[in-house]
Structure 1
């Protein structure tokens, strides 16, 4: 019997360009608030005033400009259009694949909306085709093991949140919540309100608050010092939240226009070196996940991936 040689392990080939983008230097820079946008989460049970308050905050953040609402609540936001004194456009959604939210965010960014509101983010967790559905569908690949299904579900969820947090404008999101009852020694115990999204998601936002059915708002997390420990009865979102938040963000900060990066990524005279430098600049601004529509395919892509794709192609064409 012929003795076969031992197998040789080889790694997946990678281009030098990919290494250049993925293995950048660790560079510390002076801390600034330049280019930071407001990110606000409002959670609460049905009837607590989340949609109205979220719209009021979005209106204040938009400062008179038309903003966008990604609507999963069967047109609830549009009911307030004549009462709010603000102008906004809505995108109704009926299926809630987190990747579809990325597409919607990319479309809103392409249209130049200064503020996008998601009403509500809970559907992209437990609604039709939401993250929980994605996990359920994926488990068949792993012999029915639902825990293993999270290998597919977790990246989808994480990429959605990255796109939301990297939107090139301000973000407001509402989320449903419910009373979390837990059995302890055979007795139901009220553990407080729990949001209908992945546990801990509220801490991704710069400001997070919960509302009760009396329309009282309590801040549960805030990077803005003005809101820490604060409670508001029937808040005016534009006056009580948007204005002080914007004032704090802009104190000593410069505006950053992400369209400058996008134009540079698509510039006809771009070179591999200029695109690599652009990638490092966007990376330093924590904006690689900025959602866009691909200039050729029209499909959603992140700003970082667009720069990398074009830089890699140009380098290959000149080598």
Structure 2
């Protein structure tokens, strides 16, 4: 059974996750490069360029320092599939890129090979019998894999996103209601700082850092990035926090395994550091393995044949991922006891962040609509809940697939309401049938 516990919350140092959004010509690419130079602090900058090589217009010209320009690695990308984005992130990691710029993130939604194109492709497969409604299921999984790869990149990340005018129609009157980002609704929730660019002026519209609230800067660049760096640096270094635990008294083998898992999940195993004992260059993953092996329980002595049909083995661990398998194992003639079921996987944080945006598209995004959201959710997943936190991962996936399918329709609110009414009718019919069966 999975045990859930609370630990004191501690702010950690982090890497920047920045989104620049605006129409063409608003200065997104230039701003991204200027900010990246300060964030990189002399390190390498990489640009995934989906805009037909437009980023190279800001590159340096050999032998012409008077022309200015920025030094960066350039990766052109015409087919903007999730798989290509994941591969690009891996390449950036291997190249030790300090700041990764994706220009433009919008193409991975609405460009060639993007998520919308993938849904269209899935809906036409002979194995798909639900049209775009069911085609979203595998695509949502791909999108999550892509987001995980990008947001877990060990360096800073800056993405640019296009915007377009958004209109509403009331009767025969068309009214401009603002701008709409060319990406999935709620995409901005994945980033720590979102900056709207208009004619070279950047305005912070979303941030987790108080000094940046509602900040507006003409041609934001190095100075603006300096403010972000200052905020990112206020906290505990996650690598140092792991090292401190390893070197503290009372370290257990089980805790070393947990620390290795945490570092692996956060892609910190390959981080360079000085060895706590020798002071020599090392990798965090190697240090954790060394300290874990030092406190690993010694194997019990092998029993004699007369003690019963048990044979003890103790293979050597080559990584912390293998370490549990290297603890003394017992082979018995009787089948091993089944491991307890850890229970369903709970709803994830990215799923929770997407829910509000998806509910907004079907008319249930207001605060006072909470009861309606819970009612609709209960009908969709087939059980009552008191809070979205009670959802399992699979239930949340079903809910998001449904909301996304209706949110992309021409009349999302009306169609979603009709679907909910239909589910209510089905539920009422099933209750009536159950009552009749009980009475009989």
Same fold (TM over 0.5): yes
Give 1:52 deviation, angstroms.
0.5
**2:230 alignment counterpart:** 247
Unaligned runs of 5+ residues in structure 2 are 61-66, 244-252, 271-284, 286-318, 330-440
**2:19 alignment counterpart:** 41
Q: Residues of 2 paired with 1:130 and 1:314: CA distance?
A: 40
Give 1:32 deviation, angstroms.
2.8
Q: Residues of 2 paired with 1:138 and 1:227: CA distance?
A: 42
**1:288 alignment counterpart:** 265
Equivalent of 1:87 in 61, 71, 78: 71
Equivalent of 2:136 in 133, 150, 153: 150
Seen in structure 2, the aligned counterparts of structure 1 residues 84 and 125 have a Cα distance that, compared at 3 Å, is: farther
Unaligned runs of 5+ residues in structure 1 are 1-22, 261-271, 294-302, 304-309
- Larger gyration radius, structure 1 or structure 2: 2
Report matched runs for 1:160-309 at 5 Å: 160-212=146-198, 214-235=199-220, 237-240=221-224, 242-254=225-237, 256=239, 276-282=257-263, 288=265, 290=267
Seen in structure 2, the aligned counterparts of structure 1 residues 184 and 117 have a Cα distance that, compared at 3 Å, is: same
Contact 1:64-1:86 at 8 Å conserved across structures: no
Aligned residues: 266
Give 1:33 deviation, angstroms.
3.1
Q: Does 1:28 align with 2:6?
A: yes
RMSD, aligned CA? 3.1
Q: Residues of 2 paired with 1:24 and 1:119: CA distance?
A: 41
Give 1:98 deviation, angstroms.
1.1
Return the TM-score normalized by structure 1: 0.74
Equivalent of 1:50 in 28, 41, 52: 28
**1:263 alignment counterpart:** none
**2:428 alignment counterpart:** none
Higher relative contact order (CA 8 A, sep 6+): 1
Q: Residues of 1 paired with 2:209 and 2:268: CA distance?
A: 25
Query: Which string of whole-angstrom CA distances, capped at 9 and with x for unpartnered residues, describes residues 182-220 of structure 1?
Result: 2122211112111111011012100001112x2221111
Q: Residues of 1 paired with 2:203 and 2:153: CA distance?
A: 25
Seen in structure 2, the aligned counterparts of structure 1 residues 224 and 84 have a Cα distance that, compared at 3 Å, is: farther
Give 1:255 deviation, angstroms.
6.3
Contact 1:163-1:290 at 8 Å conserved across structures: no
Aligned-partner SS, 2:239: coil
Q: Residues of 1 paired with 2:164 and 2:239: CA distance?
A: 38
Q: Residues of 1 paired with 2:233 and 2:147: CA distance?
A: 24
**1:11 alignment counterpart:** none
Seen in structure 2, the aligned counterparts of structure 1 residues 185 and 165 have a Cα distance that, compared at 3 Å, is: same
Q: Residues of 1 paired with 2:68 and 2:187: CA distance?
A: 28
Aligned-partner SS, 2:7: coil
